[in-house]
Structure 1
Amino acid sequence: MIERKQVAVAAAVIFRDSARGREFLLGQRAPGTFYPGYWEFPGGKVEAGEAPVDALKRELDEELGITVTACSPWLTLSHEYEHAFVRLHFFRVEAWQGALQDHVHSALSWQQADVLTVGPMLPANGPVLKSLRLPGFMAITHAWQIGHAAQLDAIRRTCARQRLLLQIREPVMDDATQAFAAEAVRLAHAGGSPAVLNGEPALARTLGADGVHLKSSQLAALTARPDFEWVGASCHTADELAQAAQLGLDYAVVGPVLLTATHPDAAGLGWAALTALVAECGIPVFAIGGLDASHRQAAHGCGAHGIAAIRGAWAA
């Protein structure tokens, strides 16, 4: 058995906003390197004794001539190549100084995850593209509290303002609530947002949802990923997060981070505990519990993909 060397890599998802929308930067590997002609996220090897974030900043200076001024941890993935076992630490880079200069790649290209125009992607980087399609905000329904009509109006208004991931979570799915849920899916789709049902996969299909959101008890009993575009789960422990990642789920929701009206007797995890849980996680994580849009930057700093909210999702 061949023992492959272990390599740690820091990779950057460098974002910009353009007339086309949100874009990220890819570089084409040069001749004479492994996988020449393949496209990748900029970055490079983490040296001995070096923190991944420091390696990221050094590599972007060397490769692109830019100084990172705002970044946050995101995903940590592993990939086994013929020559090495690679551990990739992905960071979101939101701001930098300097003009981009191509020092090591054959070409650079700004891309969008849903309309990729270059290829092929480096194998280790390919799975990241779907995660980049995932909205950074999850809005969760509570029509059982505010009424179907009020919730549908809130969905219509909120989806008009931003793209989000709608989670339909209602404790009783009677005929009237199923009719509400079908309309909620329609409104989400009309606004360009995906919708998942917190419930049974069969009902999710009937309602036209894009996927399912699993309770932690459902996750524990799962042996294979349900066949939907988007599948996620509520997780409270590192073992549950590992199970979600092993099954190839698209995201996890972790919390409560702060005190919340939904679970008033549950002490919040706090930001430090969230950071510890999310570290080394291979799938995007939404932080939940007493959060709204004002907490998104704090969640990013902990390594979360974004935030999920119930009451905080529907504020004007």
Structure 2
Amino acid sequence: MAIREEPCRHPSLETQGVSASIVRVAAAVVYRSDGDVLLAQRPAAKPYAGYWEFPGGKLENNETPREALVRELAEELNIVVRRAAPWLVQEFQYPHAHVELHFFRVFAWEGVLDGRDGQVFAWQTPGEFTVAPLLPANSRILAALALPPVYGITRASELGEENFLTRSQRALDCGLKLIQLREKEWPLSRRDSFALRLVAQARRHGAHVLLNGTATDALRLGCAGVHWPAATLAAAQSRPEGIWVAASCHTREDLLRAARLALDFALLGPVVATPTHPDATPLGWDRFATMVAGTRLPVFALGGLNASDLTTAIDHGAHGIALRRGAWND
């Protein structure tokens, strides 16, 4: 089902009270078939000439971000958008303008790239950009681009430790790069012993483990970061520095708080019914899309999903999907 967008007359997720003079921009992360993304160098006649940016342009009156995206890429790059998914909104105060950038990920397009404004282009690998300098408004986008699309959540207490580690090895062999270690019922000594084995296994594959626990324990166990339950998010006044921090969210207010604390990403769900939370009312994809619209941080869809739901999740504004059963070949 298509997601309806309103013209950009209304405030987005965190811009209530922002002056109408804010410049709203549609920006595109254009993907090539090998996973590289397109950057354009700003021409000499524009502010920040020589800086690299994601292509796009300003919204016209009564134009939605998606409409502006399609128009700008046709006018500036000579390409036709076939599939674009809403992603993140970033706000930045430049000396010459206060901008709000609505980022889309463009996964399918047609045409031959042609810089109508004389731009120079470069295809770059997420996490390994070589061009510089980049516009300062893009720093959060670069970090978000390096996030994998699938976040696996452990279930060793159900499957047994050895059985689970066999399955996690298989998942890592198949490309899983991000895992939440969530074994709340275990004694800390058992959890810690298991964590050391899982972290070592993940590191051999260049993957990262986040601990559902404290930042102190995460650092002690060699984890890449910490995953907060919603209650921890609600009580937090700041985020730990130097590690990844993610949080489970259930409401739009949770997402706002995660963004204000500058967390690296969030989970939102349950999207569909799940046997682990039979009393929870599922959001459904339309409500999920409404809740994440305009978000400042990447959001993974959670609850009752499997790998085949990834495209649907992305088209409804998710960065990716979090899987508990589906990540381990269930």
Range class of TM-score, shorter chain = over 0.9
Match of 2:91 among 78, 90, 93: 78
Find the counterpart in structure 2 of residue 147 from structure 1: 160
TM-fit CA distance, 1:4: 8.6
Match of 2:193 among 161, 165, 179: 179
Find the counterpart in structure 2 of residue 15 from structure 1: 31
TM-fit CA distance, 1:201: 1.0
Q: Give the whole-Å Cα distance in 1 for the aligned partners of 2:329 and 2:255.
A: 30
1:197 aligns with 2:211: yes
1:266 aligns with 2:285: no
State the aligned residue count: 311
Is the CA contact 2:152–2:176 (under 8 Å) kept in the aligned structure 1? no
Q: How does the TM-score come out when normalised to structure 2? A: 0.91
Is the CA contact 1:4–1:83 (under 8 Å) kept in the aligned structure 2? no
Secondary structure at the residue paired with 2:83? strand
TM-fit CA distance, 1:120: 0.9
**Equivalent residues in 2 for 1:1-316, closer than 5 Å:** 5-18=21-34, 22-171=35-184, 172-315=186-329
Q: Give the whole-Å Cα distance in 2 for the aligned partners of 1:228 and 1:216.
A: 21
Q: Give the whole-Å Cα distance in 1 for the aligned partners of 2:109 and 2:233.
A: 40
Q: Give the whole-Å Cα distance in 2 for the aligned partners of 1:229 and 1:62.
A: 41
Is the CA contact 2:40–2:52 (under 8 Å) kept in the aligned structure 1? yes
Secondary structure at the residue paired with 2:139? coil
Please list every run of at least 4 consecutive aligned residues from structure 1 whose deviation after the TM superposition is greater than 6 angstroms.
none
Is the CA contact 1:4–1:85 (under 8 Å) kept in the aligned structure 2? no
Q: Give the whole-Å Cα distance in 2 for the aligned partners of 1:106 and 1:86.
A: 21
Deviations 1:155-174 (A, max 9, x none): 11101111431000001243
Q: How does the TM-score come out when normalised to structure 1? A: 0.95
Q: Give the whole-Å Cα distance in 1 for the aligned partners of 2:236 and 2:188.
A: 25
Deviations 1:96-139 (A, max 9, x none): 11111122253100112221111111111222000001111000
Is the CA contact 1:211–1:229 (under 8 Å) kept in the aligned structure 2? yes
Secondary structure at the residue paired with 2:61? coil
Secondary structure at the residue paired with 1:16? coil
Is the CA contact 2:25–2:58 (under 8 Å) kept in the aligned structure 1? yes
TM-fit CA distance, 1:31: 0.3
Identity of aligned pairs, percent? 45
Q: Give the whole-Å Cα distance in 1 for the aligned partners of 2:241 and 2:196.
A: 19
The amino acid that maps onto 1:213 is: H
The amino acid that maps onto 1:291 is: L
TM-fit CA distance, 1:229: 3.0
Is the CA contact 1:5–1:83 (under 8 Å) kept in the aligned structure 2? no
Secondary structure at the residue paired with 2:87? strand
Is the CA contact 2:179–2:208 (under 8 Å) kept in the aligned structure 1? yes
Between stretches 299-308 and 119-128, larger displacement belongs to 119-128
